[in-house]
Amino acid sequence: MLAQTCLGFHIECGNLVKGGLGVTVGFVLFIGSVLLMLSAVFGRKMGYLVLSVSLFGWMILFSAVWTFGFFSQGPKTPVDLGPRGREPGWVVEAAGQNVTTLPYPQFKSYPTGSAWKAPTPGQSASVQSVSGGIQAYLAQQANQRAGLGQFESGAFQTTDFTVQNVRFAADGHTSLAAAQAFYNGGGPLVALYLRHDSGSVIVYSWMFLIGSIVGFAVHLPFLDRAERERKDILTGGSAPPWYGPA
């Protein structure tokens, strides 16, 4: 199935906008209120630095648990507990009755080539995954051509298509699959060629962890300098001239 993506995040643009607005509002309310109180006590500069170092330090711990687990759920704690990126799955590379441009040479010999193997009983889950991906892809394509939304009346559903002759092959470390499908209401037999995408489930956990480490490392020296300046003032240094309220 071809994943819908917006700005490379593999999320629909509408969901990305709504999620971004929700995060922005939450950041303003919860982080902004703490910043306001710290600024009232320490001043704007010191309050910002205290908040930033604390926030990034907390995010380092939190995102490290997301990424590595650290037995947070017992001895068998899984990794990748944070926001999940693109899940592994079968991606349709080409589809049609007479496809001439194919990304892998094995596709050209389907279904009779020696590279293709019929599924074994132990591969029933893989067959279901391939069939489901093909049905979802065909339903999506049919709805786009008909100008119908997924949940509109009369929209094509995955059960409107039948998948048969599923075969598996490999190109190095890349798993390949191919199958034939048709519309149950009458239509041509279409060949579909798929590649298994390992996904990028861990990408967001690593993004949070690396970003938090960088943010912490950038702000900590400035906090140290500001604290030293504040200490000098409190222990005998001279305060900067006061020009009235900000």
- Tens-digit pLDDT string for the chain (246 aa): 444 567 666 677 888 888 889 989 998 999 899 999 999 988 889 999 999 999 999 999 989 988 888 777 777 777 778 788 788 889 999 998 888 888 899 999 998 888 899 999 898 999 999 999 999 999 999 998 988 887 888 889 999 999 999 999 999 889 999 999 999 988 899 999 999 988 888 888 899 999 999 999 999 999 998 888 777 656 665 666 766 665
Q: Which domain holds residue 121?
A: 89-197
DSSP category for residue 28: I
Please report which helix (H) or strand (E) contains residue 69, including its range.
none
| CA 37 centroid distance within chain | 35
Assigned domain for 121 exists: yes
pLDDT of 88 reads: 86
Is the same domain home to 126 and 179?
yes
Is the same domain home to 179 and 93?
yes
* Max CA distance (Å), the chain: 90
Is the same domain home to 104 and 128?
yes
pLDDT of 235 reads: 64
Assigned domain for 4 exists: no
* Number of structural domains in the chain: 2
> pTM of this prediction?
0.64
Both tokens assigned to 38: 């710290």
Cβ(39)–Cβ(188) under 8 Å?
no
Cβ(170)–Cβ(161) under 8 Å?
no
Phi/psi of residue 101, nearest 5 degrees: -100, 110
Assigned domain for 1 exists: no
Is the same domain home to 129 and 178?
yes
Assigned domain for 241 exists: no
Is the same domain home to 74 and 96?
no
> Residue 57: what residue type?
G
Rounded to whole angstroms, the Cα distance separating 209 from 194 reads 33
Cβ(91)–Cβ(1) under 8 Å?
yes
pLDDT of 2 reads: 44
Is the same domain home to 46 and 68?
yes
Rounded to whole angstroms, the Cα distance separating 246 from 241 reads 13
Rounded to whole angstroms, the Cα distance separating 156 from 150 reads 7
Is the same domain home to 169 and 136?
yes
Both tokens assigned to 76: 């068998």
- The string over 124-163, giving b where at least 16 C-beta atoms fall within 10 Å of a residue's C-beta and e elsewhere, is eebbebbbebbbbbbbbebbeeeeeeeeeeeebebeebeb
> Residue 21: what residue type?
L
Both tokens assigned to 18: 């709504």
Is the same domain home to 152 and 206?
no
Is the same domain home to 76 and 94?
no
Assigned domain for 3 exists: no
Rounded to whole angstroms, the Cα distance separating 148 from 136 reads 14
Assigned domain for 129 exists: yes
Rounded to whole angstroms, the Cα distance separating 138 from 145 reads 11
Is the same domain home to 94 and 175?
yes
Both tokens assigned to 52: 């930033």
Assigned domain for 242 exists: no
Cβ(115)–Cβ(109) under 8 Å?
yes
Q: Which residue has the tokens 């971004």?
A: 20
Is the same domain home to 110 and 46?
no
pLDDT of 3 reads: 47
Is the same domain home to 50 and 63?
yes
Residue in 159, 197, 155 with CA at minimum distance from that of residue 181 = 159
Assigned domain for 6 exists: no
